[in-house]
Amino acid sequence: MQNLTSLVEHHLYQKGFDSRSRRGSGGEIHLSISVVALVEAVSVLKTQKDVVLIGLWAAQDFSAEGFTLFYCFERRGAKDLFVLEVRLVGNRAISIAQEYPIASYFQREVTDGFGIEFSGAFDTRRLFLHEVYGDDFHPLLKSFDGRRQEPSKITPEREYRFKEISGEGVYEIPVGPVHAGIIEPGHFRFSVIGETIFNLEIRHFWKHRGIEKLAEGKPPDEVIKLAETVSGDESAANACGFAMAIENIAGVSIPRRAWQLRMIALELERIYSHLGDLAGMSVDVAYPVGAAPFFVLREEILRWNAGLTGSRFLKGFIVPGGCARDPAQDDLENLRRYTLSFSARFNEALDGVYDSAWVIDRFETTGIVKRELAAPLNLTGPTARAAGTAIDTRVDHPYGLYEEFKPEVETGESGDVLSRFQVKAGEIEESLRLIGDIIEKTASGAVMVECRPENGYALSLVEAARGQNLHWVCLKDGRIDRWKIRTSSFCNWLAIQHAVIGNIVPDFPLINKSLNLSYAGNDL
C-alpha cells in the first residue's frame, strides 16, 4: 500500500498540490489533501487494479473547525488500508460516484447526517432521513442536542422518488415497510411483468436509532454496549471491532488468552448465524423437515455461548482491554469435544438437503449475484465469496491471532442461492476447525489489561458472519467525539436489487434469506 501512497503523492506533487502522509493508530495510511486535489487522487486510484472504496464518512471539528471527509480504500491482497483525508471549506464536496459507484450511497448518508453537499452526484435523494424530517435537520452536527423534532409536512415535492419502469404489462408490487411476519421494517418496490421481476428498488432506514450520535460524549466502557446493539446477531463482531479501535488508540496489546477467547466467540457467532441461514433457506422452499436439524444445532451453540460467556448472544464478553470473563479450561475442552460430534450431525443434515432434488432445483440458478458487482458495490462476506471473489478480512487484514490460526476462504462460482448455501456450510465446518485448533493451543494467563486512552483515533475491520464491518473511533479527553460504523449489510443490501432480476416474485423470500442481510445493521 505504500507504493499506492507514493503513486498518489507523486501525481499530486506533479500537479502542484500539497499532500501529507502518515500512519494511523490502526496501521492505516492517511494522506491529507485538499478538496480540489480529490479528483486527481481518485484518477490515480482508479487506474490501479483491485482498489475498492470500502468507506466514506465525515467528522466535524476533527483537527480544526469545520468538516473533514475520510475516504477509505482497500487494495485486494494488500494488508494496509489507504485513507484520503479531505478538509472541506464550508459544506461543499465533490462526488466520486462516477468512479466508485458505492460512493453514492455513502455520500447520501453523509449529506443526511451533516448537510454536506456533493457536486456532480447522480443521486441526491435522502437516505436515512425520511420526508418527515425538515430540510435543515442534520442529526450528526455538533449543534444538534438530541431534542425531539416536530415532523414536517410531506408535500408531493418532498416525496421519495422511486425509479419508474413503464411499458405494456408492467405493474408495481410494493412490499413493506410493515410486514406480515415478525421482521424489521423494509420497503421493496418491484416492477413486474407477470411474475418476472424487471426491477427492484429497496428503501430502508425506517427505524434509524441514532447510535452514532448517542455515543458522543460517552466513555468507551459505555459505548461498547451500544456496539453490541448495532445488530443483535453481530454482537461479538461489533464489540470486537469497537474494542480493537479503542485498543489501537491506547497503544495496548491484549493478552494472548484474551485473543483466543475472543476468536472462539467470533467463530461461534459465525456458526450460529450461518445455521440460521441454512435453516431459513430450507423453510423458504417448504422443507421444514430439512431445516429442523440446523435449528437444533443452532440452539445448542446458543447454549454453549451462554455457558462460556454468560450470554446466548455473546453480549458483555468482549470489552476494551480483553475479555470480561475467563471460562474454565475444562469448559473449553468440553466445547472442543462437542465440535467433533457436531460435525457428523451437521454433515447428515446437509445430506438431507443435497439429496432432495426439488430443493436443489429451487436453489440452483436462483438469485444470481454476479462477480463483477463485488468491487463497485463493495460486496463482502458470503455474498461476494459465493460469486467467486476470494476475500475475507480475517485473511486480507488479519487481526488478533488470525495470522496464526488462518481460515481457509470458502468460495463458489455461480453466485446463486445454492452457492451461498454451500459457502456458508463450508464456513461452519471451517469455524469448527478453527475453534478446535485454538482450544488445543489455548494459553494460560490474564484476559484483561488496562485500556483507558484519552485522545486519538483509529480504524478497525472485522469479518462478521455477513461480511466486513468497519469501525472508526475518535476520542477527545477520554470520550467519544465521533464513531463511525459501517456494517457489511449497508453495502450488501444493494446486491439484492441485482440478484432478483429475471427471477419470479415467489423466489424473492428465498433470495432475501440466502443473503440474510440486517435491517438493524443499517438503522444505526
pLDDT of residue 452: 95
Distance (Å, whole) CA 46 – CA 395: 24
pLDDT digits (tens, 9 = 90+) for 395-438: 999 999 999 999 999 999 999 999 999 999 999 999 999 999 99
How far CA 416 is from CA of 138, 159, 312, 384, 499, in Å, comes to 39, 35, 31, 11, 8
Distance (Å, whole) CA 102 – CA 497: 14
7 or 100, higher pLDDT: 100
pLDDT of residue 42: 94
C-beta separation of 53 from 102 below 8 A: yes
Evaluate whether residue 189 is within a structural domain: yes
346 exposure class (CB count in 10 Å sphere: 0-12, 13-18, 19+): buried
pLDDT of residue 146: 82
Mean per-residue pLDDT for 445-455? Answer: 96
Which residue range is the domain that position 361 belongs to? Answer: 211-488
Residues 217, 197: one domain? no
Query: What is the SS3 assignment for 269-336?
Result: HHHHHHHHHHHHHHHCCCCHHHHHHHHHHHHHHHHHHHHHHCCCCCCCCEECCEECCCCCHHHHHHHH
Domain boundary among 119, 153, 188: 119
pLDDT of residue 475: 97
Query: In the sheet that 171-175 helps form, which strands lie side by side, from edge to edge?
Result: 171-175, 187-193, 196-203
Residues 393, 435: one domain? yes
How far CA 66 is from CA of 58, 214, 363, in Å, comes to 10, 21, 51
Amino acid at residue number 439: I
Query: What proportions of the chain, in percent to the nearest 5, are helix, strand and coil?
Result: 40, 20, 40
pLDDT of residue 64: 85
Distance (Å, whole) CA 81 – CA 32: 14
92-94 vs 117-119, strand pairing mode = parallel
Q: What's the CA angle centered on 462, arms 369 and 328, to 5 degrees?
A: 125
Evaluate whether residue 150 is within a structural domain: no
C-beta separation of 381 from 407 below 8 A: no
Q: What's the CA angle centered on 267, arms 264 and 268, to 5 degrees?
A: 85
Phi, psi of 513 (to 5 degrees): -65, -35
Cell of 392: 475475507
Cell of 66: 469545520
Domain boundary among 119, 150, 172: 119
Residues 178, 76: one domain? no
Alpha carbon distance, N-terminus to C-terminus of the chain: 31
Domain boundary among 150, 171, 203: 203
Neighbours of 256 (CB within 10 A): 18
Evaluate whether residue 504 is within a structural domain: no
Residues 111, 165: one domain? no
pLDDT of residue 273: 98
| Sign of the dihedral through C-alpha 255, 320, 330, 463 | negative
pLDDT digits (tens, 9 = 90+) for 69-118: 999 999 987 888 999 999 999 999 999 999 999 999 999 999 999 999 99
Distance (Å, whole) CA 424 – CA 282: 13
- CATH number for 75: 3.30.460.80
Residues 271, 244: one domain? yes
Mean per-residue pLDDT for 320-345? Answer: 96
Evaluate whether residue 314 is within a structural domain: yes
pLDDT of residue 338: 97
Evaluate whether residue 238 is within a structural domain: yes
Mean per-residue pLDDT for 305-334? Answer: 97
Neighbours of 48 (CB within 10 A): 14
Residues 362, 327: one domain? yes
Distance (Å, whole) CA 336 – CA 433: 9
pLDDT digits (tens, 9 = 90+) for 283-296: 999 999 999 999 99
Amino acid at residue number 400: G
Mean per-residue pLDDT for 380-392? Answer: 97
Distance (Å, whole) CA 469 – CA 402: 16
Amino acid at residue number 522: N
At residue 2, does pLDDT exceed 70?
A: no
pLDDT of residue 299: 98
pLDDT of residue 381: 97
Question: Alpha-carbon dihedral of residues 441, 444, 445, 451, nearest 10 degrees?
Answer: 30
Residues 113, 235: one domain? no
pLDDT digits (tens, 9 = 90+) for 43-75: 999 999 899 999 999 999 998 899 999 999 999
29-34 vs 81-87, strand pairing mode = parallel
Residues 310, 410: one domain? yes
pLDDT of residue 16: 83
At residue 367, does pLDDT exceed 90?
A: yes
Residues 402, 263: one domain? yes
Evaluate whether residue 510 is within a structural domain: no
Distance (Å, whole) CA 96 – CA 103: 6
User: Which among 433, 427, 417 has a CA at the least distance from the CA of 496?
Assistant: 417
Q: What is the mean pLDDT of the chain?
A: 94
Cell of 401: 491471532
Residues 185, 104: one domain? no
Alpha helices in 310-392 (DSSP H): 329-354, 357-363, 374-377, 381-385
Residue 311's pLDDT band (cuts 50, 70, 90): very high
Residue 200's pLDDT band (cuts 50, 70, 90): very high
Residues 219, 105: one domain? no
pLDDT of residue 363: 97
pLDDT of residue 454: 95
- CATH number for 278: 1.10.645.10
The domain total for the chain is 3
Evaluate whether residue 516 is within a structural domain: no
Residues 94, 225: one domain? no
Evaluate whether residue 186 is within a structural domain: yes
- % of the chain beyond a pLDDT of 90: 85
